[in-house]
Amino acid sequence: MDAMLDHPQSGDRFRGRETIAAQRGGHPADRHFTLRITGHAHVWVSECVTIYDGAPSYAVTVMGFVGHQVVHETQYFAALFGTPAWRSALAEPTLGRTIEEA
């Protein structure tokens, strides 16, 4: 069974396991990952913080499985934003971030 990877925000689609592996393996940045994966049966979700050359990038990936193989994956990337002043006293930082007012 073949696989597909979508990036809705850029409009990119990568078809086939070889193409997906080449897309992931060809990245020029120094990368480090922190993952949390949850799911059941045919749908799994990963929350990922990727540090690209020292700068964090946040993503959520929804993966569809057939058997033990991922057949469709969609990655959503989020831009960083500061904490509004009204809730900064209630918040605590996550994964190396600091509370910065927006």
Q: Which domains does the chain have, with CATH numbers?
A: 4-87 (3.10.450.50)
More confident residue, 102 or 58: 58
Query: Would the pTM count as exceeding 0.85?
Result: no
Q: What angle do CA 58, 31, 26 make, to 5 degrees?
A: 105
| pLDDT higher than threshold 50 for residue 85 | yes
Residue partners of 91: CB distance under 8 A and separation at least 6: 83, 99
CA distances from 9 to 67, 71, 91 (A): 28, 20, 28
